[in-house]
Amino acid sequence: MIDTHCHLCDKRFDKDREQVLDRAFEAGVTHLIEIAYSPAIVPRAHALASRHPNLFLCLGVHPSEAAKVPDDYLATLRDHAGHARVVAIGETGLDFYRDHAPRPDQERWFRAQLGLADAMGLPVVIHQRSALEETLAILEELRPAAGGVLHCFDDGPEAVARARGIGFKLGLGGCLTYGHAALDQAVREAPGDMLVLETDSPYLEPEPRSLRRNEPALLGRVVARLCELKGWTKAEADRVTTANARELFRLPIGQGSLPASGNA
């Protein structure tokens, strides 16, 4: 399995980060993509990746950070995006639920990062909350050439059709286990080649929730629910979602890069 979206640089992992990674590998999570969504996280993310060859990076400016990050950071972000371990731009998008940044700032950084992704030939990881229509409208306007993923997908079949129309995949995590009827129907109807796995650790722990934190080792809970909805075996779910993640992020991985406990 590949966890395509996690935040292992979060302070909630400071006491046991290496053990968290060990548990992930033991649970069959062979590769991970760390999301460095603000300038302050980028050095920590690079350091983590340097210690773990099975961890890749996605770098960007989260919509909630859009008012804090100066426009000239885009040039620095472009430099960082040229690193061999960087496989995507983001998470970027629009968040009208929190409104931590003015909407014009959010949209300006969103459009800038879509342009950067095209310039670098990288896919984009999209965050949207209470802004689905506005987010999809911009994506349909600009149509990122390398595609991307709708992170933390929790919408219905209509959104699936629009995502497919622009070559995007759906990031499935803890929300899939929460009993959301529209999401369940969307996943039942979605073509298998659109689906990738994620945890968003330490957020969105899958059921049964401990109310503490999420971590990559719990990805199997998401897979179990995915299998129920699609009628797949666990082996099928692992094979399909791993192939989709490798294709989208063009991950330079093969059997030789797996940890001893891996079974991709």
Mean pLDDT by runs of 10 across the 264 residues of the chain is 98 97 98 98 97 97 97 97 97 94 97 98 98 98 98 98 98 98 98 98 96 94 98 98 98 56 30
Residues contributing to the annotated binding site for a divalent metal cation: 5, 7, 91, 127, 151, 200
* pLDDT at residue number 211: 77
* pLDDT at residue number 79: 97
Q: Residue 225's domain spans which residues? A: 2-257
* pLDDT at residue number 256: 38
What is the pTM (predicted TM-score) of this model?
Answer: 0.94
* pLDDT at residue number 254: 67
Domain-located, residue 194: yes
Residue 50, exposed/middle/buried by CB under 10 A (0-12, 13-18, 19+)? Answer: exposed
Domain-located, residue 40: yes
Contacting residues for 236 by C-beta, under 8 A, at least 6 apart: 227
Residues contributing to the annotated binding site: 5, 7, 91, 127, 151, 200
Domain-located, residue 76: yes
Domain-located, residue 251: yes
* pLDDT at residue number 140: 98
Angle at 199 between CA 62 and CA 97, to 5 degrees: 40
* pLDDT at residue number 99: 81
Domain count, the chain: 1
* pLDDT at residue number 260: 31
Domain-located, residue 262: no
Domain-located, residue 233: yes
Domain-located, residue 264: no
* pLDDT at residue number 264: 28
* pLDDT at residue number 259: 38
Residue 30, exposed/middle/buried by CB under 10 A (0-12, 13-18, 19+)? Answer: buried
Domain containing 147 — which CATH number? 3.20.20.140
Contacting residues for 245 by C-beta, under 8 A, at least 6 apart: 2, 4, 31, 196, 197, 251
Domain-located, residue 263: no
